[in-house]
Structure 1
Amino acid sequence: MNTKFQNDINEGLSKALKSLPSKYFYDKTGDDLFVKIMNLPEYYLTKAEFDIFKNQTKNIIAALDINPNVYFELIELGAGDGTKTKELLKVLISENFNFDYIPIDISNNALKQLETNLNTEIPNLNVTKKQGDYFNVLDGLKTSNHPKVVLFLGSNIGNMEDEKAKRFISKLSSSLNPNDKVVLGVDLIKSKDIVLPAYNDKAGITKAFNFNLLNRINKELDANFNIDQFSHQPEYTETEGIARSYIVSNTDQEVHIGALNKTFQFKKGEKIHTEISRKYNDEILNSILENSSLRIVTKLLDTKSYFADYILIKT
């Protein structure tokens, strides 16, 4: 049994304001559901960043200022299915850049699928996959003195509260050497009518993605969550610039988790916080970077200016 999973679920559901870590969305079922989410008409984030990687690949490479003849490590945190990154990889290989691709993801299933696909689509690419949590893997970056380009795409940093994002960026910065680069993909602040449907699609895929976490707890921790007794509730205001997802109890109820030998009480209308998605602008990002040695070189926008890929440099 995954003791870390068990402890995190216990901790989250024992809080006065209940929460569940979004990283546990991702098992095989969760991976498949998220691929479906990325293809939903309402989910603009993946399409917007793909627009940048597809149509501005040369601009990304130019902004990174990498020498084709000098070996570097291209490290991706939270690689997923690699759809966007493949656009960059193909150009780097075709232009004979000297590098290895190191995808990192919490989901071993996602990494295996990515490696299989890359072996077929880009057979000349050197791939060294690593499974693990972002924070834990960062320590391993220090062991290599090769120049590095770190990709952190998909607005994954937006899944962290601002204080945690600051700690993450500070740790990432300390794991890099001067002149190492970071490509940081972030969703930009937009109106509610654009943002909210991305987390509340008509087909209910995002709801199923959130509820998959309850199914995991039922299956892996011997719990008895009745999925029908809960609702999916996303919230967003442009003023705050943070989308939040909740699972809400539809009634007063009890849920027993056998692996914990513990029963949790839920009031009608009580929320379980599952995910945030912070939206950014230059001011917010600079506040996240202020205690690190990472500085903005430039940013690239998609054609609708929904999304930005910032190029950062370690000074």
Structure 2
Amino acid sequence: MSPFLLTRTLPEDATEAALRADVHQGLTRTPKTLPPKWFYDAHGSELFEQITALPEYYPTRAEREILIARAGEAAAATGARTLVELGSGSSEKTRYLIDALTGLHTYVPVDVSESALTQAGQALVAERPDLNVHALIADFTAALTLPDTPGPRLVAFLGGTIGNLLPAERATFLALVRGLLSPGDTVLLGTDLVKDEEVLVRAYDDAAGVTAAFNKNVLSVVNRELGADFAPDAFDHVALWDTANEWIEMRLRSRTEQTVKIPALDLAVDFGAGEELRTEISAKFRREGVRSELSVAGLELSHWWTDREGRFALSLSVAR
């Protein structure tokens, strides 16, 4: 095979159709919601890169620390010849795994962004001419068909992104992941851990206001793509810790009573003064909870690694 292949499994208009559906459904319900995936246009992705470097935002540094320390151990435990990464983005952190997997034959990055896949994939094959890269433009929360590559397979889902899914969505997602695997294949999962509320809230409400700009960017995306007239400055960024559910919620709070028009959907959305629009949940986990959710999906936890401060975990599980 060619060292770099790119396969599209999403229709060309899938992103626009999904945005329309999500905005209509989310803004006509009570309470109002928008999915966090719409943060990540080019500007939103730049803002998120800035967030990962903020002193308050620990998850990226903590996960990288674990990968540097444990990638060799994970590689030895899996013996993977195919590495599949869901939501691969720039594939930056994944390079620690790729370098450690000495018998790796094929890397399969999966993302909705064609430009990110192309840039990362071409850079990898330039550095590693022995490595085949078969990128998939796909929505990893939907059913996937992976290329025919040698096993064993290791599926990596890093960054704590699983925390953006509600519990029922996580169960569906983990079952889909298990469906990609043969018995003995493995899953490497990044999960942010429950910790002090003040530390958590600061990570999502930084002093420099970068996360606030990131949160409001979703309104700019809806304006640009659907012709809406959101005024981002008419909303305040809010980050709250939900003790009962053990997750952070990011919201946008309307400063005034206002009506937003979305011509592409023939929709007018009323906001009351102080009304909140939820844009993200970010669930935090405990080891036994992770073990239980994996087990229900047919995955058995075999390794659990944390950073030195116990803030973040990478878990390795084996398909039964």
Measured in 2, the distance between the counterparts of 1:143 and 1:128 equals 10
1:87 aligns with 2:96: yes
In the alignment, residue 17 of structure 1 is paired with which amino acid? Answer: P
Cα distance 1:19–1:202, how it changes in 2: closer, same or farther (>3 A)? Answer: same
- Counterpart of 1:58 (choices 72, 75, 79) is 72
Cα distance 1:118–1:238, how it changes in 2: closer, same or farther (>3 A)? Answer: farther
In the alignment, residue 146 of structure 2 is paired with which amino acid? Answer: L
1:109 aligns with 2:115: yes
Percentage of identical aligned residues: 35
Which secondary structure does the structure 1 equivalent of 2:317 belong to?
strand
**Residue 39 of structure 1 corresponds to which residue in structure 2?**
53
Moved more, 40-49 or 232-241: 232-241
In the alignment, residue 310 of structure 1 is paired with which amino acid? Answer: S
**Residue 29 of structure 1 corresponds to which residue in structure 2?**
43
In the alignment, residue 203 of structure 2 is paired with which amino acid? Answer: A
1:291 aligns with 2:291: no
Shift of 1:142: 8.5
Shift of 1:109: 3.0
Which secondary structure does the structure 2 equivalent of 1:98 belong to?
coil
Which secondary structure does the structure 2 equivalent of 1:176 belong to?
coil
Query: Contact 2:63–2:159 at 8 Å: present in 1 too?
Result: yes
Shift of 1:237: 4.5
**Residue 175 of structure 1 corresponds to which residue in structure 2?**
180
Measured in 2, the distance between the counterparts of 1:179 and 1:290 equals 14
**Residue 208 of structure 1 corresponds to which residue in structure 2?**
213
1:236 aligns with 2:245: no
Moved more, 179-188 or 79-88: 79-88
Query: Contact 1:49–1:302 at 8 Å: present in 2 too?
Result: yes
Taking only aligned residues, the RMSD between alpha carbons, in angstroms, comes to 1.8
1:121-148 Cα distance to aligned partner (Å, 9 max, x none): 4444321111121122x43138667421
Measured in 1, the distance between the counterparts of 2:217 and 2:127 equals 31
Query: Contact 2:66–2:307 at 8 Å: present in 1 too?
Result: yes
1:65-123 Cα distance to aligned partner (Å, 9 max, x none): x17xxxx210000112222111121233xx4x132111111222322332243245444
**Residue 87 of structure 2 corresponds to which residue in structure 1?**
78
Shift of 1:36: 1.2
- Counterpart of 2:169 (choices 161, 164, 169) is 164
Shift of 1:268: 0.8
In the alignment, residue 273 of structure 1 is paired with which amino acid? Answer: R
Which secondary structure does the structure 1 equivalent of 2:273 belong to?
coil
Moved more, 202-211 or 39-48: 202-211
In the alignment, residue 187 of structure 1 is paired with which amino acid? Answer: D
Shift of 1:199: 0.6
1:125 aligns with 2:136: no
Cα distance 1:247–1:280, how it changes in 2: closer, same or farther (>3 A)? Answer: same
**Residue 265 of structure 1 corresponds to which residue in structure 2?**
270
Query: Contact 2:163–2:191 at 8 Å: present in 1 too?
Result: yes
**Residue 11 of structure 1 corresponds to which residue in structure 2?**
25
Moved more, 219-228 or 115-124: 115-124
1:13-47 Cα distance to aligned partner (Å, 9 max, x none): 00011000111111111221111111111110000
Measured in 1, the distance between the counterparts of 2:85 and 2:215 equals 25
The number of equivalent residue pairs is: 306
Which secondary structure does the structure 1 equivalent of 2:145 belong to?
helix
In the alignment, residue 174 of structure 1 is paired with which amino acid? Answer: G
Which secondary structure does the structure 1 equivalent of 2:26 belong to?
helix
Unaligned stretches of 5+ in structure 1? none
Unaligned stretches of 5+ in structure 2? 1-12
Cα distance 1:120–1:188, how it changes in 2: closer, same or farther (>3 A)? Answer: same
Which secondary structure does the structure 2 equivalent of 1:128 belong to?
strand
**Residue 149 of structure 1 corresponds to which residue in structure 2?**
154
1:190-242 Cα distance to aligned partner (Å, 9 max, x none): 00121111111112111111111100111110000011100110111556421
Measured in 1, the distance between the counterparts of 2:238 and 2:113 equals 25
Moved more, 270-279 or 114-123: 114-123
In the alignment, residue 87 of structure 1 is paired with which amino acid? Answer: Y
Measured in 1, the distance between the counterparts of 2:125 and 2:226 equals 36
**Residue 222 of structure 1 corresponds to which residue in structure 2?**
227
